[in-house]
Every structure is written in structure tokens, then in C-alpha cells.
């Protein structure tokens, strides 16, 4: 008997719907306080259906973070690669990062606002490592590979620090709708700081 050709798209759509619901609930309550029952209810499904797609809460959390990381890194690759010089590449990278922070606040609340421990902390580390690996070849300075990777990690740290501070400010204000042009302002501030440091770098 031939498989229903529409079955796979329906399953993928349901999986995406469950991930969207999980992202909202994790953002609201954090990993530890969230239950699979709450996620299933938010998605409008039963818990057994949720377990058909994800074996555990940790598995579901990893999928939420991995989906964000994949989208972010794919957009960085497609946008930054078309930029001209090193400063333009850096600015475009910050533009993409902060547009994602502002447009997908729930996902970044999960990553930066809620506490992490055990296996959930590894997901943030993997995203950070992916960002560092992406930025490293775009730092156009005549320095060692080790030095370049450290600088890339520093740039990621600037982006994360600005994002975390903005998220905390948003939380204090009750998560208002971001102001128009907010992502652009955050990106410009972070890029100015990062570029000021990078252009002063010299070989040790």
C-alpha cells in the first residue's frame, strides 16, 4: 500500500506547530517550570500526541533552540556573504542578529533570560559556538587563527550582552511591543563598539 503523499507535510506542519507552542510556553515559564502537559494544552493537542514527536521535555527544548540557531545562521550566511568590506560584513551580521532578537523575542527569552543548568545549558553553548565559527573568517586582520577566534568570541559576547540587557529592560516594562527601528538601533550601537575594537587590533 502506497503511503499517503500528504501525510509527511501534515506531520511536519504539526511538528512546527508544537515547536511554536513550546517556544511560547518555555519563554513564559522557563525550562524547569514548564511541563509537557502545558505545552500540549497550548498547542491544542493531547500529551500522547506531543510524545509522538518528542521523546522528552529536554528533547523538545533542544529542537526549539536548534530551530532558532539554524534559521539565524542560515540568514547570516545569505546576508553577510553579499556584503563588501569587513565593516559592512560586521554591520550586516549585527543587523541580522538583532532583527532576530526583536522579532523572535520569545526564543531569546529562553536563551538569555531564564536560568540554564545541565543539558539545557549545552544548547546555548552550541549556538554561541556556531556564531563564533561563522564570524571567525570575516575578521579580516593579519593575526593567528587562535587570536582571530578569540576576537570572534568577543564580538559574539558584545551581541549577547546588548541583547540580554535589552531583554531585561523589556521584561521590566512588561514585554511591550518593541519600538519602531529598535533592532536597527541595537545593531548600530553594538557594531560601533565592536568595530572600534577590531580596527585597533594588531598582531601580538
Is 40 inside any structural domain? no
* φ/ψ of residue 100, rounded to 5: -70, -40
User: How remote is the C-alpha of 201 from its chain's centroid?
Assistant: 28
Q: Count up the domains in the chain and report the number.
A: 1
Round to whole Å and give the CA distance between 79 and 132: 16
Is 178 inside any structural domain? yes
Q: How many CB atoms lie within 10 A of CB 127?
A: 20
Round to whole Å and give the CA distance between 156 and 71: 17
Is 90 inside any structural domain? yes
Round to whole Å and give the CA distance between 179 and 170: 11
pLDDT of residue 50: 95
Residues spanned by the domain of 152: 66-198
Is 61 inside any structural domain? no
Is 14 inside any structural domain? no
pLDDT per position as a tens digit, 3-51: 455 455 587 899 999 999 999 999 999 888 999 999 999 999 999 999 9
Is 175 inside any structural domain? yes
pLDDT of residue 2: 40
67-71, 78-82, 113-117, 159-163, range with the lowest pLDDT: 113-117
- Give the CATH number for residue 102: 1.10.357.10
pLDDT per position as a tens digit, 107-155: 888 888 887 666 677 878 888 999 999 999 888 778 899 999 999 999 9
For residue 14 the three cell numbers come to: 504539526
pTM score, two decimals? 0.84
Is 17 inside any structural domain? no
Amino acid at each position: 500500500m502506497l503511503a499517503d503523499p500528504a501525510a509527511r507535510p501534515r506531520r511536519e506542519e504539526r511538528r512546527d506547530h508544537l515547536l511554536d507552542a513550546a517556544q511560547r510556553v518555555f519563554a513564559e515559564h522557563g525550562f524547569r517550570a514548564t511541563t509537557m502537559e502545558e505545552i500540549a494544552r497550548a498547542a491544542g493537542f493531547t500529551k500522547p500526541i506531543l510524545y509522538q514527536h518528542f521523546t522528552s521535555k529536554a528533547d523538545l527544548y533542544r529542537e526549539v533552540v536548534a530551530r532558532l540557531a539554524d534559521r539565524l545562521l542560515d540568514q547570516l550566511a545569505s546576508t553577510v556573504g553579499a556584503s563588501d568590506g569587513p565593516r559592512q560584513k560586521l554591520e550586516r551580521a549585527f543587523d541580522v542578529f538583532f532583527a532576530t532578537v526583536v522579532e523572535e523575542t520569545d526564543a531569546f527569552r529562553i536563551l538569555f533570560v531564564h536560568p540554564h543548568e545541565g543539558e539545557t545549558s549545552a544548547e546555548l553553548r552550541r549556538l554561541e559556538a556556531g556564531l563564533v565559527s561563522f564570524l571567525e573568517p570575516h575578521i579580516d586582520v593579519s593575526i593567528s587563527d587562535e587570536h582571530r577566534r578569540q576576537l570572534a568570541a568577543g564580538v559574539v559576547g558584545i551581541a549577547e550582552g546588548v541583547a540580554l540587557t535589552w531583554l531585561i529592560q523589556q521584561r521590566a516594562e512588561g514585554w511591550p511591543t518593541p519600538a519602531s527601528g529598535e533592532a536597527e538601533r541595537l545593531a548600530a550601537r553594538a557594531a560601533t563598539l565592536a568595530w572600534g575594537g577590531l580596527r585597533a587590533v594588531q598582531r601580538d
